[in-house]
Structure 1
Amino acid sequence: MMMNLFSIFDPSTSMNMSMNWISSMYVLMFFPNLFWLIPSRWNYMYMVMLKYLINEFFVLLNYKINKMNMIMLISLFMMIMLNNFIGLYPYIYTSSSQMIFSLSLSLTLWISMMLFGWINNTNHMFIHLVPQGTPMMLMPFMVLIESISNIIRPLTLAVRLSANMIAGHLLMTLISSTGNKLNLLFLIIMLLTQSILIILELSVSIIQAYVFTVLSTLYSTETN
């Protein structure tokens, strides 16, 4: 019997030390077939996704100046998406649902962007604190509001990713927890609902990785 609903995010292991975080290394299983002589279907899907991301980030970033940023952000998208996808398998630790995972990514990106912006583009960063057309009386308040909104960006990025992954897993667990007490008709309805939720979670795993990466891209454009 499951005593705590959140125990689904920390599956037990047969060893004295927790091996849950090894699930983050499972993404490496998706990459060896990229080096096959004949492209596989996964390779074709990967290239289509890569082309779409490059076209999408080309609008947000100047490709010639931010070529390395684009490579880093696309790699970040793939890592988050694969971690979200692998977390949908039964009895596999969902690392992206943990704040220590998402906050470490967002905080590292935010600190690096802030250091780069304030060191290299100090005047540009000060200009962003006061939007154009702000009345003189509201300028001190706008500086305070913009500063607070800038400081909480890594927290909002981390909470958005973790909360969306937690919500879907909890909903599927709550629905399936009463499966042994249902009759045949309601059991079929529950299985159909679970199948729809799995499809929804597949889309959420891609969308949340995309949102995390696009917001990081938009934050980086403000410092450049």
Structure 2
Amino acid sequence: MMTNLFSMFDPITNFNLSLNWLSSFLGLFIIPYIYWLTPNRFIFFWNNIMITLHKEFKILLGLNKHLGGTLIFISLFSFILFNNFMGLFPYIFTSSSHLTMNLSLALSLWLSFMIYGWFNYTNHMFSHLVPQGTPGILMPFMVCIETISNLIRPGTLAIRLTANIIAGHLLLTLLGSTGPSLNFFFIYLLLIIQITLLMLETAVAIIQSYVFSILSTLYSSEIN
């Protein structure tokens, strides 16, 4: 029984272990192997999505010498999208609703970009701290502002994804908890609202995974 509204985000199971985090790998057991061996509509549909993302990420990155660089962000998109979708099923832990996981992804990507950029393109990274055309008197302030905006990037990435996933799940749980106290007419109305919100959450799952990956791509493109 749910003790409070946020208990559905508790990763601790009855065995006092964080086994709920294993939900991130449930899809590996659900997808039949025949999907990877035999061409079908699902494979063609997924390949079209991957090819479209590859073309878009390649334009943003502008990579000619680093072949395969877009695969990192395509994999990131697929991983977040999968976890967002798994959280829409009953009794499945939503790992992408936790700041621990999202901040780990964002911080590791951002830190790798910063280390690579400052070691290989030091002058280019310094030039980002002062936008072109900035008056000399404002340069110290612009350096502070650009530094702060750069440091908070992993936090904004993680909080954006976490807040959007939590908000929808809380709304669905809050409305669903009122069902036992309603009559038949309002239960039918509640079901219609719940189905509509579930469709909205499906769109949010796609959009937020795309936003996370596209912003990571933009942050990476500033290094080269």
Determine if the TM-score, normalized by the shorter chain, exceeds 0.5. Answer: yes
Please name the residue that 1:125 is paired with.
125
Give the letter aligned to residue 9 of structure 2. Answer: F
Partner of 1:223, secondary structure, is coil
2: distance between equivalents of 1:223 and 1:73?
A: 16
Asked if structure 1 preserves the Cα contact closer than 8 Å seen for 2:179 and 2:187, the reply is yes
**Aligned runs of 1:124-143 on 2, under 5 Å?**
124-143=124-143
Partner of 1:66, secondary structure, is coil
Asked if structure 2 preserves the Cα contact closer than 8 Å seen for 1:118 and 1:125, the reply is yes
Asked if structure 2 preserves the Cα contact closer than 8 Å seen for 1:11 and 1:92, the reply is no
Please name the residue that 2:3 is paired with.
3
Please name the residue that 1:158 is paired with.
158
Partner of 2:69, secondary structure, is helix
Please name the residue that 2:71 is paired with.
71
Asked if structure 2 preserves the Cα contact closer than 8 Å seen for 1:33 and 1:43, the reply is no
Please name the residue that 1:32 is paired with.
33
Asked if structure 1 preserves the Cα contact closer than 8 Å seen for 2:11 and 2:21, the reply is no
Q: CA deviation at 1:50?
A: 0.7
Q: CA deviation at 1:189?
A: 1.1
1: distance between equivalents of 2:12 and 2:78?
A: 27
Q: CA deviation at 1:66?
A: 3.5
**Aligned runs of 1:77-156 on 2, under 5 Å?**
77-156=77-156
- Aligned pair count reads 223
Change (3 A) 1:6 1:149: same
Does 123-132 or 66-75 show the bigger shift? Answer: 66-75
Partner of 2:191, secondary structure, is helix
Does 19-28 or 57-66 show the bigger shift? Answer: 57-66
Change (3 A) 1:139 1:44: same
Q: CA deviation at 1:32?
A: 3.0
Q: CA deviation at 1:63?
A: 4.2
Give the letter aligned to residue 82 of structure 1. Answer: F
2: distance between equivalents of 1:114 and 1:32?
A: 39
1: distance between equivalents of 2:206 and 2:34?
A: 21
1:31-81 residue CA offsets vs partner (Å, 9 max, x unmatched): 7344222x2332122111112101211220224333332011101110110
Structure 2: gaps spanning 5 or more residues:
none
Identity %: 54
Q: CA deviation at 1:10?
A: 2.3
Asked if structure 2 preserves the Cα contact closer than 8 Å seen for 1:60 and 1:218, the reply is yes
2: distance between equivalents of 1:8 and 1:137?
A: 52
2:207 is the counterpart of 1:186: no
Structure 1: gaps spanning 5 or more residues:
none
Give the letter aligned to residue 86 of structure 2. Answer: I
Change (3 A) 1:138 1:31: farther
2: distance between equivalents of 1:53 and 1:169?
A: 27
2: distance between equivalents of 1:174 and 1:204?
A: 18
Give the letter aligned to residue 4 of structure 2. Answer: N
Give the letter aligned to residue 152 of structure 1. Answer: I
